[in-house]
Amino acid sequence: MNTKVSLSNITEFLHNSLILAAIAGLLANTALAHGEIAQAPVIKVGDQWKFEQTDRRSGVKEPIIVQRITAVSPTQIEGLENEERFVWTPELNLLESPLITVTGEAKRLAFPLEIGKKWEYQYNFTNKAKAAKGRWKLDATITAYEKVNVPAGEYDAFKIEYTGFWHNDTKGKSGRLKITSWYAPTARTIVRSEFEDGLSDFIKVLIETQPTP
């Protein structure tokens, strides 16, 4: 009698285990299918990020880049980059930097972010110092949600790959662009970016973040 009960219990245990395994697999597939989704972040006055940019050909590091938010409105975000003014859209896309002004849509980020999302964008810009004009046209694809390590720490980030063309209208030159960026929702910024245009080849990484409480 005890043997029969034992076998019965084992059979029931195995049956329940198979059911639980099937449910776990279904949940895992559902989570994978849905994936991670990131909405546009909440940016506050006083938020600050520090970046380091390195020329991958020569190994030369440029001066540290410090970005600090000074004003936030429903239509734009303003701040200082190494104490010179910049302007972003609410989606953190560039309207004006210390070096250039933008016309069109420099849509480097297109919220909500999720794996598989694609978009394209193009914009014109004017170099403030040289009065030179140019254009960028890019296709963007979010290819992964993965961990990335930078000096500021380890982050879960969306990997975004961009391919396209640049045009220097002043000099009548053009070439191909390839950019790979990792946007981390918890850092509320692109924490790593690799850029190559045939003339420049650099990497930019987050080294410190100071969010406003």
Asked if the peptide bond before residue 90 counts as cis, ω within 30 degrees of 0, the response is no
Average pLDDT along the chain: 87
Q: State both tokens at 11.
A: 């059979």
Pair 193, 184: CB distance under 8 Å? no
190 φ, ψ (degrees, to nearest 5):
-80, 115
Q: What percent of the chain has pLDDT over 70?
A: 84
Whole-number Å distance between alpha carbons of 64 and 49: 10
Whole-number Å distance between alpha carbons of 32 and 210: 32
pLDDT of residue 35: 75
Q: Which residues of the chain have pLDDT under 50?
A: 1-11, 13-15, 17-34
pLDDT of residue 12: 53
CA angle 45, 51, 52 (to 5 degrees): 165
Tell me the CA distances in angstroms from 118 to 178, 186, 194, one per residue in order. 15, 22, 19
